[in-house]
Structure 1
């Protein structure tokens, strides 16, 4: 059978105040075109469909249309909730999803059969998929208790709880002549961060070893880390990565989806198909003259300016580089902070004098900034 594995769409993502809706429309349209060309039997979306737990109506419309379009290619479609998603809200969409022929799992339920999805390909191959949405630390304990596993102790780790769940949900993987699959949204020890993941959910307390997955699994489709990569484990374990760079920490990533071909008796063969529809992200450094030569109108830019700080510098950069969404002074251009012995004394000095001392300490020798401060101070004082 053939599988298309994708994750971490983050629909609704805003980049420094700039909407990326048009990019998401183009990216998801390209994912659908890849599915039409590849003709997978199954599409797995491994979490973080949205960037926020309270998506806008436009974001919801885009996600539901993309899932419907993927189903329209003839593939079975399974999507799970990630840490950015509102799991109960995704579960509330299940009646729509079931009517559309889509399997949606937002949260862990008290019935393990809810997370065991079975199907048959057009060619007659049987497959079985364990779908495990994102689990927070406290719900991991509750989930193990729901399934009447060994009592969860307060000192046990998140990885212990996830391992118990996976072990319980994969009990039927011993059955022969079935392609056994797992999809989950979590961090595996040893995997590389992609740059845009929520830090609180990627620290070691939320990481699990790849050994939680059984050798009987033919393929594990993971979401959460935004860099496409395979992780060493007892079975094929892979992150598809995000189909677009979510923030500047991901500018070196190659956005892609993963195509997997596997049978019940042969090893999974994996390959990435690049997704190129999004606007790339780049970091550039230099003086204004150097930046003018390095201007890239095709990319969102993070700019480090190698100029002394002055009033209006940000506006000059943005006029030169309209796609500059973040402008900073290069740290090498910032003077070192003066010692406290030379710091301005507050007693008996006017706000203008104190602000002038601050500017000198920071290297902002600019009369324009002083005049702006005087104007602002007069307006506040008169008010």
Structure 2
């Protein structure tokens, strides 16, 4: 059996207030081609299918289209809900989807009842563990010793899974949306925590299964041969710039895990982070190759330029983020503003004010000429 492990689709998410639906559509056309070309039997998506618990109609229609196309390409689909999803909304059509080979696992009361998918060596059991909010679940799992954290919740959920699997035997795949120890270096700005806090779960919670397909971290990560994060199919923040997008092709044989291979997905529009004065960024030929990328610019001018974003977009159409970090910081000796303006003339007051807000640059010669016309010898006319 060949499984394609993905996660964190976040359908409906915006990127700096811009829709990502068309980008997501293009990426999943490529994923559909991978399913056909690589002869994928099962696509596993480990949570955060939608970006919101109340997805838009367009987001819902796009998901329906994607799932049907993956099914038409010859793959079964197994997906779970993440902390961004509403289990009830995502799972609303689960009974109908099941008939089409699309298995939506969002309920904790059925997590120990796997979806079984056969290959030439027998059945493979797919256990879907949705994101679990301990505060809500402790009233359901009343026999649990403690239910205060994700570690507690996942520990109890996996206890139920192991109990079923001990009787069933064979090969097992676990899908879980959580934060596992060791994935810290792959976290990024776009992993927003919507429902409660997500504490860390030990890796060895998952190592006795044939494969653990994890979600929540937006960068790929290998925590053990059989325990991995696939990351998100799109870049959702500039902290993800340069990180590969794709999924893990997981091959099973009669004995269990036979191999894992990374497969890339295309990046519709790469992300670039650039630094320099505004003038440097506007004229430097070194940036010619990235003019069509998403751009986050750090502007190092000592004085903040006027209309920075508009001017930057004249060259970089998709510049969406600006940070000001002056290359020179004026040292005013620690004097308070009141001390700096005490006893000053009107002309000097303006000069001190501009020097304060302009990082040490006071009145220019041109501004001084205008002020002299208005202020004259230092008193208001």
Moved more, 355-364 or 22-31: 355-364
CA contact (8 A) 1:8 1:48 kept: yes
Q: What's the C-alpha RMSD, in Å, of the aligned pairs?
A: 3.1
Alpha-carbon distance between aligned partners in 1 of 2:309 and 2:190, rounded to the nearest angstrom: 28
Deviations 1:44-82 (A, max 9, x none): 011111222222111111111111111112211111111
Select 1:159's aligned residue among 151, 162, 165: 151
Alpha-carbon distance between aligned partners in 1 of 2:355 and 2:10, rounded to the nearest angstrom: 43
User: 1:236, CA displacement in angstroms?
Assistant: 1.0
Matched with 2:78 is: 78
Matched with 1:15 is: 15
> For 1:20-99, what aligned pairs fall within 5 Å after superposition?
20-99=20-99
> For 1:311-350, what aligned pairs fall within 5 Å after superposition?
311-333=306-328, 335=330, 339=334, 341-343=336-338
Matched with 1:299 is: 293
Closer/same/farther in 2, CA of residues 21 and 344 from structure 1, 3 Å limit = farther
Which protein has the larger Cα radius of gyration, Structure 1 or Structure 2?
2
Matched with 1:117 is: 115
Alpha-carbon distance between aligned partners in 2 of 1:334 and 1:106, rounded to the nearest angstrom: 53
Alpha-carbon distance between aligned partners in 2 of 1:334 and 1:97, rounded to the nearest angstrom: 60
User: 1:315, CA displacement in angstroms?
Assistant: 1.9
> For 1:1-383, what aligned pairs fall within 5 Å after superposition?
1-108=1-108, 110-113=109-112, 115-121=113-119, 123=120, 125-145=122-142, 149-152=143-146, 156-174=148-166, 178-191=170-183, 192-198=185-191, 200=193, 206-213=199-206, 215=208, 217-232=209-224, 236-291=226-281, 292=283, 293=285, 294-295=287-288, 296-307=290-301, 308-333=303-328, 335=330, 339=334, 341-343=336-338, 359-363=354-358
User: 1:171, CA displacement in angstroms?
Assistant: 1.6
User: 1:188, CA displacement in angstroms?
Assistant: 0.2
- TM-score, normalisation: structure 2: 0.83
For these two proteins, the number of residue pairs brought into alignment is 356
Deviations 1:184-230 (A, max 9, x none): 00000111333144354799852100122252x11000111011111
Segments of 5+ residues of structure 2 without an aligned counterpart are 368-381
Closer/same/farther in 2, CA of residues 128 and 278 from structure 1, 3 Å limit = same
